[in-house]
Amino acid sequence: MLTLPAPTDNTAWCAAPAQGFDSPTTLRPPPAAPPAAGRSARALADALFRAREISIAGALALLILSTWAANPRFLSDQGVKDLLLNASILVLLAIGQAVVVITRNIDLSAGSVVGLSAFACGTFAAGTEHGPLAVLLVGTGIGLLAGLVNGLLVSFGRVPALVVTLGTLYIVQGVDYWWAQGEQISAGEVPGAVLRLGSGSLLGVPYLPLITAAVLAATAFYLRSYRGGRELYAIGSSPEAARLAGIPIRRRVLAAYLFSGAVAGFAGALWLARFGTVVADNARGWELTVVSAVVVGGVAITGGVGTVWGAALGALLLTTIGSALVVLKADAFWQGAITGALLLAAISVDRVVHLRVTRALRKRSPHHADGV
């Protein structure tokens, strides 16, 4: 009679470890996942720059309250409206500039594009009944053309952005002076509907700040919520890594310049609506003011870090400084001096934040944790 072997416990067969495998009695838990160093460092950078935006807002509030204490009319109804109106165009330019700077580039032609757009829109509307929409479309179209030239040369021509936009700055200024021939367009020639865009209000709030706030919110939402916006940050953080990740760098940089140019042209049309009278050198010298506002607002000049909210706060802070100095009857020289000091302080803060993030990356990397 055939006798079957007694059943054995399955664990007995597994008691002797097979070659290359651990015994079940010495099973080891799965290795812990390495810390997400990049994510942690990014969170640290976000926290630091969020704190920086809060500090800018605090400085702005302190400046406004101090000026109001010295002159209560500074925060009168008309004073607040003037402050918002004066800041609207600079905030718009800062939004467009911030998108370009995030990609580790720069647009020095923004101020000259505003001047050309304002004069072109004035020429287009003078003595006619053109409405605000047509004027805004003309200004935006001129800005898109300038942005296209800048974007193509920087992204596809691979010419340094500083060289390209400095060149287009002088070209646009030359075209503007050639076109104007020393003439100006007065408010009496501009249709009333266009002027009402610059002087009208909704529920007591002027149209220009409302338009600026809408552009700001839409841009911030796109940068934060859409893939294209996040890719702009990736390009600014590391162009080589972005290329290896398959990000279309040239198209994204071109899009950033198109946006900056469109915003500058749009701001030129609003300049006409706001002031009515335009000449060839409108917004001349605003290039560095816009860059200063963006950097002061926390957008790193080296790219990849910052928000348009911070850029808007920086522009509002610089505008408020100018208005406060006028109210306090201080020398206009101090506005430039304060702007320069804020710019140097902002760049210094950028450097400190960069060093802290780099140090955090090293401390939280797996190699550092293992003592390698």
pLDDT for res 353 = 60
Residue 138: how many CA atoms within 13 Å on its side-chain side? 21
| Domains of the chain and CATH, by start | 73-353 (1.10.3470)
Q: Which of 289, 287, 293, 286 is nearest to 346 (CA)?
A: 293
Calculate the CA dihedral of residues 214, 216, 218, 224 and round it to 10 degrees.
-160
Tell me the mean pLDDT in the region 8-25.
43
pLDDT tens string 136-188: 999 999 999 999 999 999 999 999 999 999 999 999 999 988 888 878 888 88
Share of the chain above pLDDT 70, in %: 77
Beta strands, E only, the chain: 201-202, 205-206
Calculate the CA dihedral of residues 323, 327, 328, 332 and round it to 10 degrees.
50
Distance CA 300, CA 289 (A): 16
pTM for this predicted structure: 0.79
Written as one letter, the residue type at 204 is G
**Burial readout 194-204 (b: 16 or more C-beta within 10 A, e: otherwise):** bbebbeeeeee
Q: Report residue 351's pLDDT band, with 50, 70 and 90 as the boundaries.
A: low
The enclosing H or E element of 123 equals: helix 110-125
- Number of Cβ within 10 Å of residue 237's Cβ equals 20
Residue with tokens 């910052």, as numbered in its chain: 306
Determine whether 189 is exposed, middle or buried from the number of CB atoms within 10 Å of its CB (0-12, 13-18, 19+). middle
Written as one letter, the residue type at 288 is L
Res. 362: pLDDT tops 70? no
pLDDT tens string 79-103: 888 888 889 999 999 999 999 999 9
pLDDT tens string 42-85: 555 555 556 667 878 888 888 888 888 888 888 888 888 888 88
Q: In terms of pLDDT, which residue wins out, 111 or 1? A: 111
Distance CA 258, CA 144 (A): 5
Q: In terms of pLDDT, which residue wins out, 327 or 266? A: 266
What are the angstrom distances between the C-alpha of 210 and each of 291, 321, 341? 23, 22, 30
